[in-house]
Structure 1
Amino acid sequence: MASDTRATDDPLEDFQLRSIDLLGQARRVWVTGNGPAVIVMTEMPGISPHVARFARWVREAGFTVYMPHLFGKDGATPRMPGALFTMIGGCISREFKAFQANASSPATQWLRALAAFAHKECGGKGVGAIGMCFTGNFALSMMLEKSVLAPVLSQPSLPLNDPAGMHIAPDELAAVKARMDAEDLTVLAYRFDGDKFCRAARFEAYEAALGDRFQGRVLPDSAARPNTQMKNPHSVVTLHLIDEEGQPTRAARDEILEFFRMRLSG
């Protein structure tokens, strides 16, 4: 198995850093590519080289990537103690409500505005969105924006204190389910079987709420890249992805890209 530590920072030189006004506040967003828009929301502790690699795969599949700054240092490889301080900051931030079940992150409001903005710029049928770990649930709340047609939840980890909790307000969840039924839409979700931050109970809760509109994929722990700085199998399309033929994590990545093509490109 080839080594892929990505131990050096990524300068993100092939992305354009833009300041976009969303709900009256300027937000930093990294943009690259052409085609229908896909919002790539980073996992903790920020836009790492592995997250940027995934964004490039989305770009190379024929999409315009909008990758908003949410926390951390953009392009940096996670290092202690800085990564720990970022995670603590995210946990106590009112923008994320990391410990609240049945409540949507306030950040999803401006992320929905970003989706509408991106759709206006790029055109096409609609917008894709993927959240990872700390932002893993966000793509579902973003479906309240009518342009979002292809939501993906990768190891959704909030709320941190309730393994069966759903990080979305009940009225929003009901509205999303009604929209999915009316428009025949689905949400893809991924986790590793032994993930301590995204357990089986969370997928079971989403399946109970959304029925067959929720398409959960559970990968064996053996499919995770070993010997990384995070031994808990967790990051399906970034840190723990094995970019080799026949690997379940690469198959998951390819399924996500095909999901975006199907929903956004026709």
Structure 2
Amino acid sequence: MSQPVMPAPIGKRGRAALGMDAQDLSTITERAGDGLRVLGLRFTNDRGCPAERFETLRARLGTSFEGIEIDSSPGNAAGIAPSAHAVLTVSLVDEPGHPTRVALDRVVAFLAEQLRH
């Protein structure tokens, strides 16, 4: 998942919500115990995809969840706008070593790993 924004992050519950029904989340949690891996991407300052979403995923999936959180705080070293949202598209800087490019490379590697299973 990349910067999941739905449901709207309104209120404490909405900020932590994953936007899936309980049965789907239960199935994913169960499959995580059988080796399923989930990769998530977000910018740290993204109001549309608050940190609480990744906290929920870590709590439910433990080490089966790999979260990549790219610094978008004001004045960050990579010059990423605090309003950045789309890690793999609009906000991608396709330069070796840039945090968004590192994230893209990890997504490609992750997909390759999963397809080999």
Q: TM-score, normalised by structure 1?
A: 0.39
Stretches of structure 2 lacking an aligned partner (at least 5 in a row): none
| CA–CA separation in structure 1 for the residues paired with 2:27 and 2:84 | 32
Aligned to 2:27: 175
2:43 pairs, out of 192, 198, 221, with 192
Larger of the two Rg values belongs to structure: 1
Q: Which residue of 2 aligns with 1:130?
A: none
- Report if aligned partners of 2:16, 2:52 keep a CA contact under 8 Å in 1: yes
2:4 corresponds in structure 1 to 156
Q: Return the structure number with greater relative CO, CA threshold 8 A, min gap 6.
A: 2
Give the deviation of 1:164 after TM superposition: 1.1
For residues 220 and 179 of structure 1, do their structure 2 counterparts lie closer, same or farther at Cα, with a shift above 3 Å needed?
same
Identity %: 35
Name the one with the larger helix percent. Answer: 2
Aligned to 1:248: 99
Are the aligned partners of 1:207 and 1:214 in contact in 2 as well (CA < 8 Å)? Answer: yes
Answer whether contact 2:71 2:80 (CA < 8 A) is retained: no
C-alpha distance in structure 2 between counterparts of 1:198 and 1:253, whole Å: 18
Determine if contact 1:177/1:210 at 8 Å carries over to the other structure: yes
Which blocks of at least 5 consecutive residues in structure 1 are unaligned?
Answer: 1-152
Deviation at 1:225, TM superposition (A): 4.8
Q: Does 1:165 align with 2:17?
A: yes
Calculate the aligned-residue CA RMSD, in Å.
Answer: 1.6
2:58 equivalent to 1:207: yes
In 1, Cα distance between equivalents of 2:92 and 2:80: 6
Looking at structure 2, the residues matched to 241 and 261 of structure 1 have their Cα atoms a distance apart, in angstroms, of: 20
Distance 1:224 1:233 in 2: 10
How many aligned positions are there? 109
2: CA distance, partners of 1:215 / 1:245 = 21
Cα distance, 1:265 vs structure 2: 3.8
CA contact (8 A) 1:224 1:249 kept: no
Higher strand share: 1
TM-score between the two structures when normalised by the length of structure 2: 0.85
- Paired with 1:176 and 1:224, the residues of 2 have a C-alpha distance of 35
1:217 paired residue number? 68
Change (3 A) 1:186 1:224: farther
CA contact 1:190–1:216 (8 Å) conserved in 2: yes
Question: Which one-letter code corresponds to 1:186 in the other structure?
Answer: R
Q: Could you tell me whether the CA contact under 8 Å between 1:187 and 1:214 is conserved in 2?
A: yes
CA contact (8 A) 2:88 2:100 kept: yes
The one-letter code sitting in structure 2 at the alignment partner of 1:154 is S
